[in-house]
Amino acid sequence: MSIDGKIAPADRVGRRFFKFMTPRHQRMLHKIRSRVDAIVVGVDTVILDNPSLTVRNVHGKNPLRIVLDSKARTPLDSKVMDGAAPTIIAVTKNAPKRRVELLRKKTEVLVLNRAGRVDLRALLRELRRRGVRRVLVEGGGETRWGFFKEGLVDDFFVWITPHIWGGRDAPTLVDGAGFLHEDDAIPLKLKSRRVVDNLLILSFHVGSHG
């Protein structure tokens, strides 16, 4: 994110920060991916960024790719559907059946419904049943909020670039409805900090709220 907490400008163009990342940063990111069993993103990230979510630039296995997609909007030609790594599209019962059928022709689809949204707890139970132990939630802001709200985050790290974008409508690192009371805010304990090529990396352990 930028120093003022934005993950994209207000027009949401240039959502990713790769232009601020050096080759060393990119290798670090892919090293992290190579050490997890699965990566989770929201469908908006897929639509806006079209990420591969695979391991490159370092040796390591590709993790399972998971897209939270309540209404089955994942483009059929998106990179997560390219077969380079296994992919699960998690939808709800409200997703159009025709779209679900089209997605199932290319990859696995799970229906995990809770109040019209993908049931994150049910998703993690299913992943655990399959032997998945380490899950990396890459984004975006709404997806991160969902995991924080449900108390499903153990560790949190953030890369901060020395830039300010501003914009009251710009997406932030964690969006969603947000907590309204101080006692509900998620407490973090700083584990480490380092500067790599002018980029600040903070790592936290996440406590429980409430």
Give the predicted TM-score (pTM) of the model.
0.93
In 3D, which of 141, 100, 95, 146 has the Cα closest to residue 116? 95
CATH 3.40.430.10 fits 18-206, yes or no: yes
Q: What is the spatial distance between Cα 124 and Cα 133, in angstroms, rounded to a whole number? A: 9
Say whether pLDDT at 149 is over 90: yes
Q: How confident is the model at residue 139 (pLDDT cuts 50, 70, 90)?
A: confident
Please compute the mean of the pLDDT values over residues 203-209 and round it to a whole number. Answer: 84
Instruction: Decide the pairing of beta strands 199-206 and 108-111.
Output: unpaired
Question: How do the domains of the chain map onto residue ranges?
Answer: 18-206
Bridge partners of 109, per DSSP, are 89
Residue type for position 70: S
Residue type for position 25: H
Say whether pLDDT at 16 is over 80: no
Q: What is the spatial distance between Cα 128 and Cα 134, in angstroms, rounded to a whole number? A: 9
Please compute the mean of the pLDDT values over residues 71-83 and round it to a whole number. Answer: 97
Question: How confident is the model at residue 210, as a pLDDT?
Answer: 46
Q: How confident is the model at residue 92 (pLDDT cuts 50, 70, 90)?
A: very high
Q: What is the pLDDT of residues 165-198, one digit of tens each?
A: 999 999 999 999 999 999 999 999 999 999 999 9
What is the number of other CB atoms lying within 10 angstroms of the CB of residue 185? Answer: 13
Question: How confident is the model at residue 84, as a pLDDT?
Answer: 95
CB 36 within 8 A of CB 134: yes
Question: How confident is the model at residue 207, as a pLDDT?
Answer: 85
Say whether pLDDT at 208 is over 90: no
Structure tokens at 134: 């380490």
Mean pLDDT in the chain?
93
Q: How confident is the model at residue 140 (pLDDT cuts 50, 70, 90)?
A: confident
In 3D, which of 132, 130, 78, 129 has the Cα closest to residue 106? 78
Q: What is the spatial distance between Cα 117 and Cα 120, in angstroms, rounded to a whole number? A: 9
Say whether pLDDT at 131 is over 70: yes
Structure tokens at 142: 């709404």
